[in-house]
Amino acid sequence: MSSAISPRSARNDRGIHRRSLLAGTAAGLVATGLALPAFADTPPDLAGLVARVTEGAVPERARIRLEIPALAENGNSVDTRIVVDSPMTEADHVRWIHLIAEKNPFPDMARFHLGPRAGRAEVATTLRIAQSQKVVALASLSDGRFVMTDADIVVTLSACIDGG
């Protein structure tokens, strides 16, 4: 005599109903999906971003100037200039200049590689700033030290906003 098991009451060898298993799996996936955006929206702190670039070294607050407007009407186009006081010789020069904005979707906004043949440690660029925040200019020197400065900027029309 054969007994037919209906698909609705199908159990595995451990006595678990297929529907219960599917419902539990779906609930787990939904819970995982809800937890991820909460962490994705948490911006890294500015000190952590600087420490990542400097590999833990404490930068000196000298010899670098960040020229950025205190108020930007449109965050899509913010003219910025960074100048580092350096002789730009083989023995003493700027290796890298980093621009960091902690509230941007990609906080490491720009990285400029320089060398003694650059002549002067100066860069100018146009940035996209997501919202009002602090912007950091950080320079890596040839002797392994770092110098930094920062500036607050108020943005009235934000940039870098995702449509979703």
Q: pLDDT tens-digit profile of 29-68?
A: 444 444 434 334 445 688 999 999 999 999 999 999 999 9
The yes-or-no verdict on residue 27 having pLDDT over 80 is: no
Of 50, 142, 144, 154, the residue nearest 102 (C-alpha)? 50
Exposed / middle / buried, residue 114 (Cβ in 10 Å: 0-12, 13-18, 19+): buried
Q: Mean pLDDT of all residues in the chain?
A: 82
The yes-or-no verdict on residue 25 having pLDDT over 80 is: no
pLDDT (mean) for 20-33: 51
pTM beyond 0.75: no
- Would you state the pLDDT for residue 158? 81
pLDDT (mean) for 148-156: 96
- In angstroms, the CA 142 to CA 4 distance is 79
